Amino acid sequence: MATKTKALPIFLSFLIVLALIEVSHAGGIAIYWGQAGSETTLNVTCNSGLYKYVNLAFLNKFGSGRTPVLNLAGHCNPANGGCRVASSAIKNCQSKGIKVMLSIGGGIGQYSLASKADAKKVADYLYNNFLGGKSASRPLGSAVLDGIDFDIELGSTKHWDDLARYLAAYSKPGRKVYLSAAPQCPFPDRFLGTALSTGLFDYVWVQFYNNGPCQYSPGNTSKILASWNRWASMKWMKKLFLGLPAAKAAAGSGYYDRVNGYSTTIKSKV
């Protein structure tokens, strides 16, 4: 598909996040919101009409006995319940047909899963505090998020498949728990390879940047095309997205300027 209008890069440059462009199916740009205090509000983000998916980033402390901590980069203070005000904005996004996910992990934080039992404990926490369950201390208030995004870049590589299975098991008629993931482009991803092979992930936005062997480099698309085709060939793949930095400041390398004003089409078997 083509990216939106030339106003898109200006909007994204304030957000300092990743534009994740779905090119194997019609429609859809996903964005990570909550990584910079200078970015626009969640309401403005969803009211722009640009996005089909919004990942709230990040729950970056959890597992292995840790008390879970939500970090939305200064937009609100979850410690005193201050992030519950986001509930109305989340509901506004969802009323426009936008799926809103909680992203767990990220490039900075403290998280890991110590065992299968620990994965179950984390799944229960996520369901009761962010999804369709019940808790007296829901960090984002009464809003029910659509699912969980796995952006796992640190800590142990174990038990993420267990967490995916436990979360998926909470799906019920009329209330599906969607799962998405943001693996690095080297295949298979070191942290999420086993989890992705379960076939439970509805959306996969591969990070085609900060990885020399498989990212875009000026004048050379062969590496990113080869990597894309490798990911697209997986039988468990449902929807594959092209994950690229929305602005140069969002990543150290792999920035593809043409995405900000021109068509981007990558053909695949997906």
User: Which tens digit of pLDDT belongs to each residue from 90-104?
Assistant: 999 999 999 999 999
Total Cβ atoms within 10 A of residue 172? 9
Residue 238: which residues within 8 A CB-CB, separation 6 or more? 199, 201, 202, 203, 204
* Average pLDDT value over all residues in the chain: 85
Of the ranges 28-37, 57-66, 109-118, 166-175, which one carries the lowest mean pLDDT score?
28-37
Q: What is the pLDDT of residues 128-179, one digit of tens each?
A: 999 999 999 999 999 999 999 999 999 999 999 999 999 999 999 999 999 9
Q: Which residues are catalytic?
A: 153
Question: Distance between CA atoms of 71 and 94, rounded to whole angstroms?
Answer: 21
Whats the size of the chain, residue-wise?
270
Q: What integer pLDDT is reported at residue 101 of this predicted model?
A: 98
List of E strands, the chain: 18-22, 29-33, 53-62, 69-70, 99-106, 110-111, 147-152, 178-181, 203-207, 240-245
Of the ranges 126-130, 223-227, 259-263, which one carries the lowest mean pLDDT score?
259-263
Residue 87, pLDDT above cutoff 50: yes
Domains of the chain (ranges plus CATH)? 26-243 (3.20.20.80)
Residue 4, pLDDT above cutoff 50: no
Q: What integer pLDDT is reported at residue 258 of this predicted model?
A: 58
Question: What are the φ and ψ backbone dihedral angles of 169, each rounded to 5 degrees?
Answer: -70, -15
- pTM of the full predicted structure? 0.88
Of the ranges 73-87, 178-192, 251-265, which one carries the lowest mean pLDDT score?
251-265
Q: What integer pLDDT is reported at residue 92 of this predicted model?
A: 98
| φ/ψ bin of 190: left (φ > 0), alpha (ψ from -120 to 50), beta (otherwise) | alpha
